[in-house]
Structure 1
């Protein structure tokens, strides 16, 4: 496995300065934002696709520092019921797939998106209960008419270019659990997999080790994010796991994102890393920093230090004791 980072947290730095800092920390891989919610501070796909010299210079910035690009990330909602919004997210994602082919980056990360509840809806509708039955009808309509058709078509576009799509299992979107990811994968093909982030499993009450096992047995983990979550034992009983309060209200929230090791101990993280190795995932563990109690530098540095202790890097050898 290689240790990497989702570089959008260094968006205030020029690309080469950010890459110098990442390389100095001993990392081997970088995940780059190309649009959608995380933005494209370090990578403008439209510019790189239009200019071969800029494309080569961009790639050289990584190669010259011994860094690989683990994934291009374009997290948006291409299923948004407002067509202009959906088109922007879709266009950004398609350009990202085209750029991944040019750069020989094997994975593009994103969100599945969430449609509205009918053709003329204005806002997304995320059903979270099976009753009243209206919610089941909405869910069936969304998957039949929007989710499966869109990702079947987009998956073929990616597959034709030798690129895999890794959807992040995230609340608020149609694909948010191992089960919903596998449902889409069965319909749209194996080009669709997970960008598995334990932090979003924990707040939904899902054990990340089991999520790794469920998805890994189907070879459905295309990328992995390293981010933690802490659950407040009192506030969760007040607000529930679908706490709608702003992330900034940390004292009263049911749960909050933390840097690796500050929501769950390192034995838990070692179990996750071991589970990844067990199911054959030997790609990048990409640090994502969204800890409201730590600066970018401190949160990132602590995540690096903690993960370096437990990451399994060397190839498997023979079981000499068998």
Structure 2
């Protein structure tokens, strides 16, 4: 495995400065934002696709520092019921796939998106209860009319360009659990896989180690994010795991994102890394920082230090003791 970082952390720095900083920390890979919520601070696919010189310079900037690009990421909502919003995120996805092919990057990460509850809706609707029965009807319509048709088409497009799609399992979107990822993968094909982030498993009450086993046994982990979550046992009793308070209200929230090692101990992270190795994942562990208690630099540095203790980097050897 290689340790990497999601470069949106350093969107305020010039690309070359950010790459120098990342390389100085001993990392081997970078994940680049190419649209949607991550933005395009370091990479605008439309510009690079139309300028071979800029494309060559971009690639050289990364590779000359001993780094590789693990994924291009354009997390958005291409199923948004407002067509202009959906189109913008869809276009970012398409351009990200085309750029990934040119850069020989194997994965494009994004969200599944979430539709509305009918054709003329204005806002996404995320059903999370089986009753009243209206929710079941909405869910059925969303998957049959929007989610499966869209991602079946995009999976074919990505496959034609030799790219895998890493959908991040995230609350608020149609694909948010191992089960929903596998449901879509069964319908749309094996180009669809997970960009698995343990932090989003914990706040949904899912054990990330078990999520790794469920998805890994199906060969459905395409990329991996390293971010932690802490759950406040008192606040969760008041607000529940679907706490809708702002992330800024950290003192009262039921849960909040933390840097690796500040939500769960190093043994837990060692178990996650071991589970990844066990199911055959030998790609990049990409650090993501969304810790409101630490600066970007400190949160990132702490995550690097903690993950370096448990990351399994060397290839598997023969079992000499067998």
TM-score higher than 0.5 here?
Answer: yes
1:168-202, Cα deviation, whole Å (9 max, x unpaired): 00000000000000000000000000000000000
- Deviation per CA, 1:233-263: give whole Å up to 9, x if none: 0000000000000000000000000000000
State the TM-score, normalized to the length of structure 1.
Answer: 1.00
Structure 1: gaps of 5 or more residues:
none
Aligned counterparts of 1:246 and 1:40: Cα–Cα separation in 2 = 25
> Shift of residue 67 of structure 1?
0.2
Deviations 1:110-148 (A, max 9, x none): 000000000000000000000000000000000000000
> Which whole-Å CA distance do the structure 1 matches of 2:74 and 2:92 have between them?
7
| Structure 1 residues 75-129: Cα deviation after superposition (integer angstroms, max 9, x where no partner) | 0000000001000000011000000000000000000000000000000000000
Within-5 A mapping of 1:1-322: 1-322=1-322
CA deviation after TM superposition for structure 1 residue 225, in Å: 0.1
Unmatched tracts of structure 2, length 5 or more: none
Partners of 1:224 and 1:87 lie apart in 2 by 27
For 1:300 and 1:37, locate their aligned partners in 2 and report how far apart those are by CA, in whole Å: 20
> Which secondary structure state, in structure 1, belongs to the residue aligned with residue 35 of structure 2?
strand
Q: Distance in 2 between matches of 1:107 and 1:305?
A: 26
Distance 2:57 2:185 in 1: 36
Aligned-pair CA distance for 1:310 = 0.4
TM-score, normalization: structure 2?
Answer: 1.00
Q: Distance in 2 between matches of 1:12 and 1:305?
A: 23
CA displacement, residues 33-73 of structure 1 (integer Å, 9 cap, x when unaligned): 00001111000100000000000000000110000000000
Aligned residues: 322
User: What SS does the aligned partner of 1:36 have?
Assistant: coil
Give the whole-Å Cα distance in 2 for the aligned partners of 1:40 and 1:179: 31
Runs of 4+ aligned residues of structure 1 deviating over 3 Å after TM superposition are none
Query: Quick one: distance in 1 between partners of 2:228 and 2:30?
Result: 19
Matched residues in 2 for 1:252 and 1:40: separation?
A: 33
Cα distance between partner residues in 2 of 1:314 and 1:96: 31
**Which secondary structure does the structure 2 equivalent of 1:35 belong to?**
coil
Aligned-partner Cα distance in 2 for 1:6–1:85: 24
SS at match of 1:75: coil
Query: 1: distance between equivalents of 2:91 and 2:224?
Result: 24
- What is the CA distance between 1:155 and its match in structure 2? 0.5
Over the residues paired in the alignment, what is the CA RMSD in angstroms? 0.3
Whole-angstrom distance in 2 between the partners of 1:201 and 1:86: 26
SS of equivalent residue, structure 1 residue 78: coil
